[in-house]
A and B are shown apart, each in its own frame.
Chain A
Amino acid sequence: MTDWGANRDLMVRIGSFVGILVVWQILIGVFSVVPAFLLPPPTTILAALGHLLGQSSFIDDVRITLIRVAIASLLASIPGVILGLAMGWNRTVKALLFPIVSATYPLPKVALLPLFMLVFGIGDKAFIVTAAIAATFLVMFNSMRGVADIGTLYFEVAQDNDVDSVYTYFREILLPGALPMIFTGLRLTLNTALLVTISIEFVAARHGLGAFIWSRWNTLQTPQMYAAVFVVSLAGVGITYGLEWVADYAMPWRTETTGTAVQ
């Protein structure tokens, strides 16, 4: 597709998006097709958002959620990448771990939250551990599959050069070779951490964006609820495109992206 074509495509997309906002505004703001307290028009939500951004308690809620997501992602990613690479590389490690990992993967980890709240008490420790466990699977699976993409030549060269340190294999072959898949996994992991953190905040937390949304639903302050939902989706977009940007920077040789964040 030529630049002109790509530009035109983008224009059409932006145009229809703006069109939807305008139609939404008119249908509800002018004709009240749906009661405005159920679905306020975009300008009302925007005004609520502007108001919220001036409140330090809302900024705190955003910060609390982002910190939980960040710590959970970190706790999920480091063991996830290491165990995933090890499973992809070594048959014995895979035989040990893969069955148990595959068997527990379909459990929605938010079901473990009450158990962790009993063990750790109701608080950040329980929330973050639950989100981290939920998030670790995707980066683990993707790192494992990434190793399969590495040509056997690299391993042969390493053997010919008498590399016997496991660390060197990880550092020089497994990690760089599997990097494209690792980034796919990281993106899924961060998005899962966000999803599960918001769920946990709905259910059990007193602070954070999820708790804010849930309380605004209960008190029927709908413009504020939608404004916070908008902030959550911005975080989702930020994770997806932010990691895409980091991946381009870390892997200039890479030409196309694989996989996508679906939550």
Chain B
Amino acid sequence: MSTEQGSRWSSVRDYLDETNERDLALNLLLPFVILVGWEIGAWAGLINTQFFPAPSAILGVAGQMLADGSLVHNTLVSLGRIIPAFVVASAFGIVTGLLMGWSSRIDTIIDPIVSALYPLPKVVLLPIIFLIFGLNDLSRMVALGAAVYLLVTINTVGGARQVEEAYLEAARDNGASGYRMIREVIFPASLPHIFSGLSLAMGISFILIVVVEMVAAQSGLGYIIWNSWNLFTIKKMYVAVITINVLGIVFTYGIEAVGSYLTRWQERI
């Protein structure tokens, strides 16, 4: 079982390295044209502002939502669901993956379960978890956590299995076993794979949290989107979508940036 290597962030970082001033103008051209065209089109009546309200109008509503506290509150609610679930599940996932990489006996037992669940589109975990745990904040977090756990375990074990035999032998000859073997050899060597797992898991967490909050919650950014659809308060919908996008950029690329910093001894892929 191979795992996806090379992150989106590494493409972004490489691009930032190679870019120059002439490019910068081009970089900003398209967003500028879209925003200005949208704004002018909206004021001139060329665009249906029911569906595509002017950026300035969206900004105004964003200001209102910041002032009345609803944007901050619902953002914190969504993050309060993602972050604990993500941290706990990925810690368990890394430990499971490392143990599988360390002991072939553990690997033989767990691998069939993991391989069977692997091709499952992770979103089908939602109804299964809701069935078992009911519908509450804990079950929402368990559903996120289950997907994160699977992805991180799979990627970690993919990394742990690729540790070069020479390193393992050298460590063994020097008396390393058990905990030290995992901590000093397998874990650092698996880090690049662990971080691709973490970044994939973060992406899935964002998809799941939006789906969960749309249909099975009364708060959070996904709920704002769904509620705005029901009430036709479309500017609020845009504000929530943009907020989720910004959080996605910070968290997904953030994790990948931390990963490439921690594995900077590795060749750039």
Choice from A102, A188, A198, A229 contacting B12 with Cβ under 8 Å: A102
Tell whether, in the assembled complex, residue B111 and residue A236 are in contact, meaning their CB atoms are under 8 Å apart.
no
Choice from A92, A217, A237 contacting B119 with Cβ under 8 Å: A237
A-B pair number, CB within 8 angstroms: 173
Choice from A19, A110, A188, A214 contacting B210 with Cβ under 8 Å: A110
Minimum Cβ distance to chain B for residue A69 (Å): 10
Q: Which of A119, A229, A262 has the most CB of B within 10 A?
A: A262
Tell whether, in the assembled complex, residue A203 and residue B115 are in contact, meaning their CB atoms are under 8 Å apart.
no
Judge whether B132 is part of the interface by a CB distance below 8 angstroms.
yes
Which of A93-101, A159-167, A168-176 is the contact stretch? A93-101
Minimum Cβ distance to chain A for residue B225 (Å): 6
Choice from A91, A108, A213 contacting B206 with Cβ under 8 Å: A108
B interface, by DSSP: helix, strand, loop or mixed? Answer: helix
Choice from B1, B27, B124 contacting A95 with Cβ under 8 Å: B27
Choice from B4, B31, B229, B244 contacting A100 with Cβ under 8 Å: B31
Tell whether, in the assembled complex, residue B23 and residue A213 are in contact, meaning their CB atoms are under 8 Å apart.
no
Minimum Cβ distance to chain A for residue B149 (Å): 14
Residues of B within 8 A of A (CB): 1-6, 8, 11-12, 15, 19, 22-23, 26-31, 51, 108-109, 111-113, 115-116, 119-124, 126-128, 130-132, 151, 154-155, 200, 203-204, 206-207, 209-211, 214-215, 222, 225-226, 228-229, 232, 234, 237-238, 240-241, 244-245, 248-249, 251-253
Residues of A within 8 A of B (CB): 12-13, 16-17, 19-20, 38-39, 91-92, 94-100, 102-108, 110-112, 114-115, 117-119, 141, 144-145, 188, 191, 194-196, 198-199, 202-203, 213-214, 216-217, 220, 222, 225-226, 229, 232-233, 236-237, 240, 257-263
